[in-house]
Structure 1
Amino acid sequence: MTSTPPQGPTVVIVDDDPDLRVTLAALLAENGFVPLPVADSAGFFAAANAGPVDLALIDLRLQGESGLTLAIRIRERMGLPIVMLTGRGDETDRVIGLETGADDYITKPFSPRELVARLRAVLRRSGHPALANPDRSQSQIRAFGQLRLDQTRRELLGPDGAEIALTNAEYRLLDYFLRHPDRIIARTDLLRELGSDLSLYMDRTIDVLILRLRRKIEPVPSKPVHLQTRRGLGYIFVTEA
């Protein structure tokens, strides 16, 4: 008897724009996901109660209950991976979202290929069976201390080989530092170099990302060994402690 392959990940799309819901659902279905498009938080919880859900894709600016409020409720009740869709003018809400634990942010307008890749990255980090059991034989690995960054699969690995979950923004920050080790990098360079959506963030976003990244890579985050601050100049990543 042949075994049944794992079903594609189920993604609830929460957006009050009916045209965007249809577009996103078609895109995800074409790429092996099981999309469940809904208009609001009531629709999300109805879908979640009807069967297993693997990820919530939520518009930040929902009418009625905000996307951030819905994300907080999901975190409290379900611990489900969350990806937020944001507009270009939502810098403050991005910071709040980072602090409340959204796994990733995608800025409108977005590339369909990037959206699919980033959803898969979040689901892979969460351990979805259809995306598990990685083959790292062809991966490009950068090591620092007892940790390794798999730049092919976009994963941070601990001393025991287990993945340390990173949001997309945290991964991009760490990847940038590891490509420019032992060099002082100004805050303005980080805002500019980390990508089109991050370049729209406020300075405080970098502070939040640095704090969160240190909690994941430093034995004592308050006394960083690798990701060090150079006051008045920026940051430097020291690969060899």
Structure 2
Amino acid sequence: MNRPRVGIVDDEVGVREALAALLSDNEFDPVPMTSSADFDALGTPPNLDLVLIDLKLRGESGLSLAQKIRNTQDLPIVMLTGAGDETDKIVGLEVGADDYLLKPFNPRELIARIRAVLRRYNVTQAAQPDGPENEDHVSFGHLVVDRIQRTVSTKDGTEIALTNAEYRLLDYFLQRPNKIIPRVELLAEIGSDLTRYMDRTIDVLILRLRRKIEENPSKPIHLQTRRGQGYIFVTGIPSRTT
């Protein structure tokens, strides 16, 4: 069965690449674009089954592109934005978007939303497992965690060497995505190996883990600090920084 083609209109290269990788991993054929001009270059109608459009494109509005598409063709549209204004969501749906997600969002939720919209349009896809992803393998960013082998690798197969404590810490976060975890809870999780250390050990382990799993450890996307609360492992796509 053919893989559904999904357009991605977003002017941030990091977001486009992350979305393209996510879609490809979930049996979609991604078509990244930076602007409405790129979309127009696909022709009318474009060879797409659905399009993801960022609300705040550089120098133009994603809403205008969505409205233009809806006025000329019956193409499923999912809007993406980092804006928290409820009015944007209402306007987006009014101009014809089929669904709307705020960034950062859980990648599993995005895939589920895309599949739901495609089903409404009777676009079929090869059967997928009922679970959100294989429990033995977890992906985030450019890395894949094999819980059976207890390894972390890049998607091209290069293994990232983690100590036992680092791996246990990462796995603990992955089992509790997008949840703030206090330092004392993390210390209790690994304390049997590190009973002679004070809780500052957690901070050291966090720094070491960031150096191995984050593309820019000084500005972590996934393993983030919540001052005065603890740490959180963010699995969603990051929103635009302004």
Q: Give the TM-score normalised by structure 1.
A: 0.50
Q: Which has the larger radius of gyration?
A: 2
Higher relative CO (Cα under 8 Å, sequence separation at least 6) belongs to 2
TM-score between the two structures when normalised by the length of structure 2: 0.50
